[in-house]
A and B are shown apart, each in its own frame.
Chain A
Amino acid sequence: MIPLAWYLIFSAALFCIGLFGALARKNAVAILMGVELMLNAVNVNLIAFWHYYAQMRSTPYVHGLAFTTMVFVVAAAEVAVGLALVISAYRRRQTPVVDELTLLKG
């Protein structure tokens, strides 16, 4: 017996903390951590609305779960490629700080 509002406020707060991390951190790995927080907030939202919709229809409802599965898969792919890019950039430029990756700057 938990209000839906609690889940939505929780996931909005988690999303905004992640957004702050992605916007304000200098380290590229920390930015990816912020993105992970945002993806987790989205998953909480999806599962909360899956529960809400299953309760409203009072029948088992599988589509919300299938969509959440896709988000998990895409999150895993995203973090694998992102961290590989960070490591590759670090190997060439010796820094994980996004401010110092200025090769394209005129």
Chain B
Amino acid sequence: MNGLQVVFLLAALVSLFSAAMVVSARRMMHAALWLVLTLMGVAVIFVTLQSSFFAVVQVLVYVGAIAILIIFSVMLTRRVMEDHGDQILPGWRAAGLVAGLLFAIIVGFLALWQGFTTMLVELPADADNLLDLGQALVSPQGYALPFELASVLLVAALIGAITIAVDRKEDQHG
């Protein structure tokens, strides 16, 4: 077992443990902070896959923006069920069964695939060439159309989010 494998195992264990805490923590604020730890662990996993760009994007977008957004929402929707009351639906056993079965099915099917045990070796240094990625994203032969669609989607989502969340006085009695 070499150093990279130790790093991977540590990051994976931390991520999975904190993911389990995200879905089981009683207080929403604790769940949000465990989520931050999970996202950082996934960033380390990206580093072990030699995708340093997505490790940075993960920290910037998820830890920097999405986690903060979630923490804001937790603070804006507190008051009830903070310390008392079940945080989990009565049918959680069925949900756990579904999740466990899905895990078994996925791993079972993957184990049938012959590439499952491939060792991922180190890629050459220019493997995640950002210049190539950037040019592919904006070239008409590449991903210019999905890229523009994604931009429009983001703008629409942000305008929609502001429209939905804005505090209008006449809606207060709804």
Contact = CB atoms under 8 A, between A and B. Distances in A.
Q: Which secondary structure characterizes the binding site on chain B? A: helix
A23 B77 contact: no
Contact of B81 (A3, A10, A47, A97): A97
B174 interface: yes
A36 B61 CA distance: 12
Given A30-B23, A37-B19, A55-B120, A85 B81 contact: no
A29 B120 contact: no
Contact of A37 (B22, B65, B119): B22
Interface in B67-85: 69-70, 72-74, 76-77, 79-81
B10 interface: no
Contacts of B57: 72
A24 B66 CA distance: 22
Contacts of B77: 27-29, 86-87, 90, 96
Contact of A33 (B12, B70, B95, B142): B70
B62 A40 contact: yes
A12 B23 CA distance: 16
Interface in B90-130: 91-92, 95-96, 98-100, 102-103, 106-107, 110-111, 115-124, 126-129
B116 to A, nearest CB: 5
B63 to A, nearest CB: 11
Q: Which of A36, A40, A68: most chain B CB closer than 10 A?
A: A40
Q: Which of A27, A30, A81, A90 has the most chain B CB atoms inside 10 A of its CB?
A: A30
A44 B159 CA distance: 29
Interface of A: 1-10, 12-21, 23-30, 32-34, 36-37, 40, 43-44, 47-48, 50-52, 54-55, 60-63, 65-66, 68-70, 72-81, 83-88, 90-92, 94-97, 99
